Amino acid sequence: MRTQVAIVGAGPAGLLLGQLLHRAGVDTVILERRSAQHVLGRIRAGVLEQGTGELLDEAGVGRRLHREGLVHEGIELCFGGVRHRIDLRGLTGGRCVTVYGQTELTRDLMDARRAAGAPIVYEAADVGIHGYEGPRPSVRWVEQGRAREIRCDYIAGCDGSHGVCRASLPASALGVHEKLYPFGWLGLLSETPPVSPELIYANHERGFALCSMRSHTRSRYYLQCALDERLQDWPDERFWGELRLRLDAEAARALVTGPSIEKSIAALRSLVVEPMRFGSLFLAGDAAHTVPPTGAKGLNLAAGDVRYLAHALIERYHSGSERALDAYSERCLRRVWKAVRFSWWMTGLLHRFPETGSFGQRVRQAELDYLVGSRAASAALAENYVGLPYED
């Protein structure tokens, strides 16, 4: 078997890359370790930057996003028991974000790939990448007990933070920059109307809380929790009670509770590996970097990498030029580091860090106060939240 680009991983990065390349006449094969159902069952991101929406339009998969996605022109910061609105649209010259679940986006991309008849192998076991340093790259895997191999020109490592592509690289070739945070997020999804029309990011002495949503009837809430917290210790009533305590009085009163559909705990970390290219292997999305979810950047960064990679591969196949492929890693990393910085800053601003004591908490309060009182500081938050521009 042979293809032009072998894509490892069918999360949003792999599927979107496949779709952009397919529309430009570049052949791809996608290999995914899990089943399609498993991939669709993961509840993750919810906020798309405008630039991500534009890329989905370019990929021809933006129709349902525009029909069903909720355009948000602002977010709210809650501290000291009071909510303050950040006017995203007003502060960024008209830019907004759209609330549209990663699950929905993944479904749209899966449907598009099926409609295109482009190959995708689910439940591909023991995926291994070979020869990417030399002239004959290939990917091998096991499919229903049979060993398979595909030769290709390029390999796209879109296999997330626990994938095989990054793990296959020699440690000496990689620069790894990591920061772990001393807490996690406990998330709950429920079939209840959102507490407020816009997202609420709350800083409270009991810890951070976030009120998000998936639709007018489905809510997504998060609580900062200890790293050793166990799900079984968090029955729904305890979650709702704790959330109420961390919100302002009006939101606490308005909160509609109901049975959870999903509950999970995620540790928070920042990680970047450099470079993002090794010979004919290109890393994209969570395979190359992880950000804490506070700034809603993970999925959007994955889309940003894919945008640069797809355009570079299309240029290579259409004009023979490798210029954009050669610039890929540096170009991505410039944008990635800015989002890493923003996510780290938002995390520091809004969470409770017990080890920094009362001094740290008072400095955070002063910064929040400054932020909502200064147009310049609010604008800096807003322009990062809606997404920084691309280089081309």
Q: Which does 313 bind (CB under 5 to 8 A by kind): ligand RFL, ligand PHB, none?
A: none
Q: Which is nearer to ligand RFL, 121 or 361 (CB)?
A: 121
- Cis geometry, peptide bond prior to residue 275 (ω within 30 degrees of 0): yes
| 318: annotated active-site residue | no
Q: Which is nearer to ligand PHB, 336 or 350 (CB)?
A: 350
| 66: annotated active-site residue | no
Per DSSP, helices labelled H in 59-153 are 63-68, 88-91, 102-116
Q: Which of 9, 69, 285, 293 binds ligand PHB (CB under 6 A)?
A: 293
Nearest to 79 by CA among 253, 250, 246: 246
Which residue among the candidates 132, 154, 328, 385 is catalytic per the annotation? 385
Q: Which is nearer to ligand RFL, 46 or 51 (CB)?
A: 46
Q: Which is nearer to ligand PHB, 3 or 343 (CB)?
A: 343
| 385: annotated active-site residue | yes
Is position 3 an interface residue for ligand PHB (rule: CB under 6 A)?
A: no
| 293: annotated active-site residue | yes
| 135: annotated active-site residue | no
Is position 224 an interface residue for ligand PHB (rule: CB under 6 A)?
A: no
Strands (E), the chain: 5-8, 28-31, 47-49, 70-72, 75-79, 82-86, 97-99, 120-121, 125-130, 138-143, 146-151, 154-157, 175-190, 200-202, 209-213, 219-225, 260-274, 277-278, 281-283, 289-290
**CA–CA gap between residue 65 and residue 57 (Å, rounded):** 9
Q: Which is nearer to ligand RFL, 286 or 358 (CB)?
A: 286
Dihedral angle computed from the Cα positions of residues 13, 19, 24 and 25, in that order, rounded to the nearest 10 degrees: 120
* Residue 140 near residue 157, CB atoms below 8 Å: no
Q: Which of 74, 157, 187, 304 binds ligand RFL (CB under 6 A)?
A: 187
Interacting positions 278-317 with ligand RFL (CB under 6 A): 285-286, 293, 296-300, 302
**CA–CA gap between residue 333 and residue 275 (Å, rounded):** 8
Is position 220 an interface residue for ligand PHB (rule: CB under 6 A)?
A: yes
- Which residues make up the interface to ligand RFL (CB under 6 A)? 8-14, 31-34, 39, 44-47, 102, 124, 127, 158-160, 163-164, 185, 187, 266, 285-286, 293, 296-300, 302
Q: Which residues are catalytic?
A: 72, 201, 293, 297, 385
